Amino acid sequence: MSSLSKKRAFSLLAIAVLLLGLLAGCSGKNDSPSNSNSNANTPSTSTNNNAGEEVDYRNGFPERVTLEIPVYDRAFEGWNVADNYYTRWIQQEFGEKYNVDVKFVPIGRSTEVQDFQQLLAARKAPDIIFHYDMPQALAYYSEEVMQPLDLDEIAHYAPTYWEKMKDTILKYGEVEGQHVFFFAERPNVSNWVGIIRKDWVEAVGMKVEDLTSLEKFNEMLEKWKEAGLGVAGGSLQKDVFNYSYAFREWPVDPEKHALYTDLSVADFTTEATEKWLRNLNYQYNNGLIDQEFYLRDDHNKVKAEFVAGRTGTYGEYITSNTDIFEATLKNNPEAEFAVLPPYSGVPEGGVPQGRLDWPFGMIMGINHESSDLERIAVWLYLEWMIQPDNLFYLQNGPEGETYTLNEEGIPVKNDSYDGEAKLSPNNNKDYWCLVIEAPTYGSEEETKKVLKSFWSPPGYEYIVEDMMRYRDEVIEYYYPDPLFTVPIESVAKYKADLNNLFQELYLDIVMSSPEQFDQKYEQAKQTFLDAGYQEILDEKKAAYDAGHIIQ
């Protein structure tokens, strides 16, 4: 079999997914289709032209349509997210076929909400409004910047996508009786990994496998300190609040989980947070953690401490492009690395709980100002992208340049390639994340085999193997966030202020003397409640009691 036919045969195994959303007349655009809740897979849905005649655009538009797609700008050096080999390829392969000008709108990854809000205020937002977390997606909905969806239209213009994602859209995409959200598929995989300096662990007479609890981890940090090796890495806790899982009770109480678990607002008043704070206070006062952790307010600052050899732990989403090992070895040629066991952060008697992603990736809606034709162009774009050959090309690039196929038909990335078709440092994910969160290839075992190659820096395959093994061991203790089916308006109202207040309060507590801890924490809890957190808890309790939740 030729390499080209191998690629095609293999790519047909790729499970792709598409995303779509629709309009319910607002903003003076063309008349929208009916807001049907029909579950039919292949309805005959079309749009009227100016003469009142029904037109079907599945073969393209008679006049040029502009489609604006958001894309994360992660500030990769030398990478223009809006104009590169792949954006031009998309224009040629999709845009010219359907008579569409595809324009990519850069969205800062760390300034995502702010960027969208500014674009919306200026009426320059792209046709898709997206976010990874439901609380913010619901906040956009409550601001009335998204169109209701006509599911018939999605099924008509994107049948492959609809067939793949219809159950998810029907289950999770409805808010207050309206279909609002469409989604990308999310396979049950993750490439987040914690790294530890294995040579430091062994230098103090321990093994990485000994780190079976938080107590053992702190014992090791004490030995690092005595030996003058370094400290644990640390960063400023902000924006994303999933810090307390290891300190929670097991099994999980459904009501507590519903009220207190929220990525965008800290569960500051819970017993789990108190235990987390008390451990940080201990680590800080005993010099076991980066003493300037509060200054490490972005990924690169945390990374720099590890690379320099001042800290011995670090976490990131690993890919074959990851340079953390190579960069560290330049400063510390003797460095050895291992995966930090998930048990190392769990107090004795606890279990390694963690946040499980919902069975969908990107959460999307259609801009309320997008026209009928722009909305239809979204569906056509997603239907085009979900086709195995197109998705495979976006994820891997041109065969023989960016990758080769091994004997099993699995793409093996060419890390030395530095030509025009070089993929972004996250393997072009910011384009294809509209349909799927991670590549899939046939069976679960085949997918894991490919992802190992996809994620492993050369020479560090064992890191990805251990990362996958640990995940399999602890996955039974992972669970998703509560998903309210109505907006929790107080979250949107108070989360920014509470985030700022949280930083002030938690740093004051962590950096206080152990003798001051109890008094400071009690006062801080009341301050946090009075600043809006109590209102959030009350609103969530009312929604929970009314059954407006999926858990």
Partner residues linked to 128 by β-bridges = 366
Based on the fold, state whether residues 42 and 139 are members of the same structural domain.
Answer: yes
Residue 415: its pLDDT value, please?
A: 82
Do 40 and 166 belong to one domain?
A: yes
Average pLDDT of 322-330? 97
Which residues neighbour 523 within 8 Å (Cβ) at sequence distance 6 or greater? Answer: none
pLDDT higher at 188 or 287? 287
Last residue of a domain, one of 367, 396, 425: 396
Burial of 334 (0-12, 13-18, 19+ CB in 10 A): exposed
For residue 105, what pLDDT is reported?
Answer: 98
pLDDT confidence of residue 409: 82
Distance CA 244, CA 261 (A): 9
Query: What confidence score (pLDDT) does residue 448 get?
Result: 85
Within 173-213, residue ranges assigned H as helices are 198-203
> Does some domain include residue 445?
no
pLDDT-derived band at 406 (thresholds 50, 70, 90) equals: confident
- Mean pLDDT over 28-44 rounds to 36
Q: Is residue 462 part of a domain?
A: no
To the nearest whole percent, how much of the chain has pLDDT over 90?
Answer: 78
pLDDT tens for 61-101 read: 999 999 999 999 998 989 999 999 999 999 999 999 999 99
Surface-to-core class of residue 53, CB atoms within 10 Å of its CB (0-12 exposed, 13-18 middle, 19+ buried) = exposed
Query: Mean pLDDT over all residues of the chain?
Result: 90
- Amino acid 183: pLDDT: 98
In terms of phi and psi (left: phi > 0; alpha: psi -120 to 50; beta: otherwise), the region of 135 is alpha
User: How confident is the model at residue 50, as a pLDDT?
Assistant: 66
In a domain, 430, yes or no: no
Examine the pLDDT at 25 and tell me if it is beyond 50.
Answer: no
- Does residue 335 share a domain with residue 375? no
- What count of Cα atoms within 13 Å lies in the side-chain half-sphere of residue 464? 22
Q: Report if residue 408 sits inside a domain.
A: no
Task: Indicate whether 65 and 130 sit together in one domain.
Answer: yes
Query: How far is CA 328 from its chain centroid?
Result: 26
What tens digit of pLDDT does each residue of 418-430 get?
A: 999 999 988 899 9
Residues 118 and 207 in one domain: no
Three-state DSSP at 155 gives: helix
Residue 229 shares a structural domain with residue 116: no
Q: What order do you get walking across the sheet with 182-185 strand by strand?
A: 128-131, 360-366, 182-185
Q: Where are the alpha helices (DSSP H) in 387-433?
A: 388-396, 429-432
- Confidence band of 51 (pLDDT split at 50, 70, 90): low
Supply the pLDDT for residue 57.
Answer: 98
- Which amino acid does the sequence have at 463? I
Q: Position 284: which residue type?
A: Y
Q: Considering 396, 421, 445, which residue would you say is the last residue of a domain?
A: 396
Contact, 201 vs 207, CB < 8 A?
yes
Q: What is the pLDDT of residues 156-197, one digit of tens each?
A: 999 999 999 999 999 999 998 899 999 999 988 899 999 999
SS (H, E, C) 65-76: EEEEEEEEECCC
Q: What are phi and psi of 47, to 5 degrees?
A: -120, 145
What are 391's two structure tokens? 């998705």
Boundary (domain end) residue, out of 340, 369, 396: 396
Taking the CA atoms of the chain, what radius of gyration do you get in angstroms? 25
Please indicate, yes or no, whether residues 72 and 182 belong to a single structural domain of this protein: yes
E strand or H helix at 344? none
DSSP assignment letter at 326: H
Mean pLDDT, rounded, for 33-56? 53
pLDDT at 46 over 50: yes
What is the dihedral sign for C-alpha 234, 269, 250, 488? negative
* pLDDT above 90 for 219: yes
Residue 409 lies in a domain: no
Place of tokens 């104009």: 83
Domain that holds residue 97: 3-187+359-396
Cα–Cα separations (whole angstroms), residue 461 to 189, 364, 468: 16, 34, 11
159, 168 Cβ separation under 8 angstroms: no
Determine the Cα–Cα distance for residues 38 and 343; give it in Å rounded to an integer: 47
Closest CA to 372 of 41, 21, 4, 2: 21
Quote the pLDDT of residue 466: 98
Q: Which domain CATH number covers 381? A: 3.40.190.10
Query: Over 70: is that where the pLDDT of 210 sits?
Result: yes
Tens digits of residue pLDDT in 471-491: 999 999 999 999 998 889 999
Least confident of 23-27, 149-153, 323-327, 375-379: 23-27
- CA nearest to 364, candidates 437, 427, 426, 423: 437
Dist CA 537 CA 540 (whole Å): 5
Tell me the three state secondary structure of residue 432: helix
**Nearest-angstrom CA–CA distance, 217 and 221:** 6
Residue 442: pLDDT above 80? Answer: no
Average pLDDT over residues 322-344: 97
Instruction: In whole angstroms, give the CA distance from residue 346 to residue 249.
Output: 11
Strands 478-479 and 354-355: parallel
Tell me, yes or no, whether 110 and 236 share the same domain: no
In a domain, 102, yes or no: yes
Same domain, 379 and 344: no
Q: Residue 225: its pLDDT value, please?
A: 98
194 or 413, higher pLDDT:
194
308 half-sphere exposure, CB direction, 13 A CA radius:
12
Confidence band for 239, pLDDT divided at 50, 70 and 90: confident
Strand segments (E) across 351-427: 354-355, 360-366, 403-405, 411-413
Residue 327 · residue 347 · CB < 8 Å: no
User: Backbone dihedral region of 18: left (phi > 0), alpha (psi from -120 to 50 degrees) or beta?
Assistant: beta
Asked if residue 24 and residue 170 are part of one domain, the reply reads yes
Query: What integer pLDDT is reported at residue 26 of this predicted model?
Result: 36
How high is the pLDDT of residue 147? 97
Region 499-503: mean pLDDT is 97
Residue 52 — pLDDT band, cuts 50, 70, 90? low
Is the pLDDT confidence value at 1 over 70? no
Quick one: pLDDT at residue 32?
34
Percentage of the chain beyond pLDDT 70 is 91
444 in any annotated domain: no
Task: Tell me 129's DSSP state.
Answer: E
Cα distance between residue 271 and residue 525, in whole Å: 11
Is residue 337 a contact partner of residue 195, using CB atoms and an 8 Å limit? yes
Same domain, 374 and 329: no
The structural domain count of the chain equals 2
Position 4 confidence tier, pLDDT thresholds 50, 70, 90: very low
The answer to whether residue 15 scores a pLDDT higher than 50 is: no
pLDDT score at 370: 98
pLDDT at res. 320:
84
User: Is the same domain home to 263 and 233?
Assistant: yes
Is 431 a member of any domain?
A: no
Does residue 97 sit in helix, strand or coil? Answer: helix
